[in-house]
Amino acid sequence: MRELKGDWRDLFNGFMVALDLRKCFLALCGIVVTICLCGGLTITLGHSLEPKAVAVPQDLVLHRWLGAQCQAWDVIYNGVHVEPAHAAETKSAEGAGASMSGGAVKAGPKASPSSPVIRKRNHPLALGYTLVFALLFISTWSYFGGAIARIAAYEIAKDGERIETRKALQFSRRKFWSFFWAPLICVIGLLFFALCNWAGGFVGKLLDFIYVGAPLVAFLLPLALLSGFIMTLILVGTFTGMPLFAPAVAAEGTDSFDAVSRGFSYVYSRPWHYLWYQVVTSVYGYICIGFVILFAIGMCHLGLKTGELGFEVCGAWVPDRTKDPNAKSAFHDVAQRSWELILSKDHRDCTMYGWDPMSIVTAPHPYGRLQILSNKIVNVNYSSPTLSGDHNVAAFLITLWLAITLGLALGYVVSYFISQQTMIYYILRKKVDGIEMNEVFEEAEEEPKPAEASKPSDPAKPAEAAGAPPAAPAGESKPSEPPKEDKK
């Protein structure tokens, strides 16, 4: 890592700081746990409420899982569809007519296509789901994100020196509640002032029966405006300063209140610096993340392609080109089946993104563009034939290895974000508090416990005096004392 200068130029160290397999692995673990717990909870709940509205993905394509999440959120928060009353009467009338006519269905009145959609909402269910989802998400990233932030904070401050993954996880476990409560403190503060305003309005409504409620609320309006001012400060500070909470705990070893205070203070003290740092981080990250993911795609494709050529030359799975000159080896079909489960068919022939500089700036869409380039690199045909039993096993194993490899590349996205926010925290700390960037909280090494003293002797026997010479071992006699001279 290059020498730190304490300004925005240090952000260009982020590529190498984030390019760490340990951070990428921890990020991948966090992504998998988040998808399994939070995503699984969302899709399962939405699908159980309205199965036809939530399509469970059958592959590993990311945007399909995100689409299923959005469908489930729509069901959970907006309610399930309820059939209008006139449609139910129409169906019952058609059923009765069919039974009377021996099965022939008579045409009856149909619901207007412009009739409003009726939904039945369950507010307690939505509230309970929100609480569980938020706690699971914050808990997951308090542990894995805290460990990543600790590794990045130590590496930045110590000029590339790396801390052990075990120690980073131990630090994250010890400081778990600091990571966990930092964002929740902001939410609790916001809800507190909102509840105060709500309580004032409620009391005013009760007193309105004696014609003093409305004047009293109007008279105390400055308090409500002050509360609104504080809520706005908390809201803006939370959205802008939240990325700095975890780096503050990781770098200072502090508690959640101090982390929130530092995040708010640095953002409000240097707002334009903070905004510039985030812009540089975003633009630079667009390039770095794209390079890492395309590098991983190309690496996997070249590995499978050369393996395919090797299988064909060795004669293990040789295609019958007498019937089809363009026939591919069976290994090619296995690899194609694996790629079909990872890459998106929707982006194979996609032409909605322009590649001129103006189009890239106005509509960057990094995910869609990476999917297009990945499809061009791999050239998936999405029409592989049916595989036999052993080939299905091979396709499963290849998919597993591809998921792990590309998952590490996906973990680089999280590693880059947390590492860069840690770098931004160090830069802002130096500008606001004047603390050098090489200062980081270091836990005191636990001293090994001294060896236990020998078991105490029998209380009936007197203890040996301190400093007394040890007894001679058995079989050895004490040296005789020299003879004393007689005094004359």
Specify the pLDDT at position 451.
52
Note the pLDDT tens digit of each residue in 429-445: 999 998 888 889 887 76
Contact (CB, 8 A) for 375 and 351 = no
Judged by DSSP in three states, 113 sits in coil
**In the predicted model, what is the mean pLDDT of the chain?**
82
Specify the pLDDT at position 98.
46
Please give the Cα distance from 51 to 43 (Å, whole number): 10
Structure token pair of residue 118: 């009726």
Contact (CB, 8 A) for 353 and 390 = no
Structure token pair of residue 303: 């590995």
Report H helices in 37-175: 40-49, 62-78, 85-100, 123-157, 165-174
Specify the pLDDT at position 332.
78
Residue with tokens 């130096």: 430
Query: CA distances (Å), 129 to each of 42, 133, 477, in order?
Result: 8, 6, 82
Note the pLDDT tens digit of each residue in 346-398: 888 877 887 878 888 888 888 888 888 898 899 888 876 677 777 788 888 99
DSSP state of 487: P
Residue count (the chain): 488
pLDDT in tens, the chain (488 residues): 677 888 899 999 999 999 999 999 999 999 999 999 999 999 999 999 888 889 888 888 888 899 999 999 999 998 887 766 555 455 554 554 444 444 444 444 444 555 566 888 888 899 999 999 999 999 999 999 999 999 999 999 988 788 899 999 999 999 999 999 999 999 999 999 999 999 888 888 888 777 787 888 888 889 999 999 999 999 999 999 999 999 999 999 999 999 999 999 999 999 999 999 999 999 999 999 999 999 999 999 999 888 777 766 654 455 554 444 445 556 777 888 889 889 988 888 877 887 878 888 888 888 888 888 898 899 888 876 677 777 788 888 999 999 999 999 999 999 999 999 999 999 999 999 988 888 898 877 655 555 544 455 455 555 444 444 555 544 444 444 555 544 44
Specify the pLDDT at position 313.
63
Nearest alpha carbon to residue 46 among 21, 67, 18, 69:
69
Is the model's pTM score more than 0.85?
A: no
Structure token pair of residue 484: 């004393």
Kind and range of the H or E run holding 120: strand 118-120
Residues 6+ apart with CB under 8 A from 118: 81, 82, 83, 84
Specify the pLDDT at position 63.
87
Specify the pLDDT at position 241.
92
DSSP state of 39: I
Residue 41 Ramachandran class (φ > 0 left, ψ -120 to 50 alpha, else beta)? alpha
Nearest alpha carbon to residue 239 among 215, 275, 209, 208:
275
Angle between helices 330-340 and 389-433 (to 10 degrees): 40
Residues 6+ apart with CB under 8 A from 233: 264
Please give the Cα distance from 293 to 298 (Å, whole number): 9
Please give the Cα distance from 418 to 22 (Å, whole number): 13
Q: Is the dihedral of CA 49, 54, 60, 63 positive or negative?
A: negative
| Rg of the chain (C-alpha set) | 34
Residue with tokens 């939240």: 242
Please give the Cα distance from 31 to 101 (Å, whole number): 59
Contact (CB, 8 A) for 441 and 171 = no
DSSP state of 270: S
Nearest alpha carbon to residue 281 among 13, 24, 1:
13
Please give the Cα distance from 255 to 432 (Å, whole number): 20
